[in-house]
Amino acid sequence: MSTFAFGTYRITDENPLHIEALKEAIESGVRLIDTAGHYTNGGAERAIAKVMAYFEDSLRNEIKIVSKYTPSSDVTLHEQLTQSLQRLELHSIDCYLVDTPKESPYEEFVSLEKEVKEGRIGSYGISFDGSDYNDLLLLAQKAAKELGNAQHSFSTIELPINILQQEGLTCAAWAKRQGLRVLSSCPLNAQKGPLMYRLADYEESREYYHYVNELLEFCSTDLLKPLKNLIEQMDSNRHKFGWIGEYDVFVSTQILPHIKMSLEKLNSEHLDDLLYFIERFLQEYRTMVAYECSSRIRSELKSEFQECKVTIQECALQFLYEQKSIDYILVGMKKPSYVQEVMALKEKLNNNFMAC
């Protein structure tokens, strides 16, 4: 049976909510944190360092940190590891993964065996799609032999596994037979065919219509007509996004630049009020998009969730929790409320398991 770990994708040290969420996760018993040097341009690793400073050494020593190296022609593995250690304010990382190598990871394994020998990492592994795994241990053994290490330090694989993407379970089962640790990524961000889904139920916003109407009324001037047209288009198209991640990209690349362009023509009078309504509208609009996306899941994914009597996220996480070949489920918990929800689910699943 697996357990939950803290995934730091999109976590940053500049967001107080992220800091509080990670702190609460550790206080609630989470003992593995997954990160990478490129997550929010190093902000995820800096956030970990900031949170670790709250705790005594005895507790910090219980927490395992897994970070990742992205193969690059510009920055070596040694340099990336050095940067991660500096951001994490550590002398050593428990485990360092090669992230989605395009070719054989043998050269990286040689470098990682060297880092183990120098004490900068405890062990290493690979984060990939679960294909071409049969030679991984042979490559690790060969790399260890080249460095003169008595045995290899390959310990961990990370795979995208969820209720829609179960192909990785074959690789996970192989890994467990080899005595390796298995981390499951993307538990709630799933792909089926060409479509992406956020496997979660969301409630409809109760305040959306208030803020969209307030903003439209505020924009009922000739100077703000382009902004009003944009808001009206967004309102009529909120049901057209495939999944919430698609909206997040769209708002940053399309919507925000248009809003910024509209605001550049304004003087400072009433600008603060307008910015307030825009901010609240965007918050509630995202909630509505998430609701629209989640409302389609039970009809489009009938075979996977027809027996689901609780929330979709609970069913999706329970599926992973019950997999014997998975050690840790990497969940993005960007708010303390998300941590509380996941920990409550863990307690519920543990109680169900003990009852059986």
Q: What is the largest CA-CA distance in the chain?
A: 76
Amino acid identity, position 69 = Y
pLDDT band at residue 223 under the 50/70/90 scheme: confident
Give dist(CA 271, CA 264) in Å, integer: 10
Q: Which CATH number fits domain 3-199+311-355: 3.30.9.10, 3.30.497.10, 2.130.10.10, 3.20.20.100?
A: 3.20.20.100
Tell me the average pLDDT across 217-246.
Answer: 90
Residues contacting residue 33 through CB under 8 Å, at least 6 positions apart: 5, 6, 8, 22, 48, 63, 64, 65, 66
Does the model's pTM come out above 0.85? Answer: yes
Residue 77: Cβ within 10 Å count: 21
Q: Give the chain's mean pLDDT.
A: 93
**pLDDT over threshold 90, residue 222:** no
pLDDT band at residue 118 under the 50/70/90 scheme: very high
Q: Any idea which residue has 């994708």 for tokens?
A: 9
Residues contacting residue 8 through CB under 8 Å, at least 6 positions apart: 22, 33, 34, 35, 36, 39, 44, 45, 47, 48, 332
> Burial level of 252, CB count in 10 A (0-12/13-18/19+)?
exposed
Give me the pLDDT at residue 220, please.
87
Give dist(CA 166, CA 192) in Å, integer: 11
pLDDT band at residue 1 under the 50/70/90 scheme: low
pLDDT tens-place string over residues 130-143: 999 999 999 999 99
Using DSSP's 3-state secondary structure scheme, residue 69 falls into strand
As a whole number of Å, the CA-based R_g of the chain is 23
Domain ranges across the chain: 3-199+311-355, 208-302
Beta strand pairing status for 195-198 and 189-192? Answer: antiparallel
Tell me the average pLDDT across 185-205.
Answer: 92
Residues contacting residue 249 through CB under 8 Å, at least 6 positions apart: none
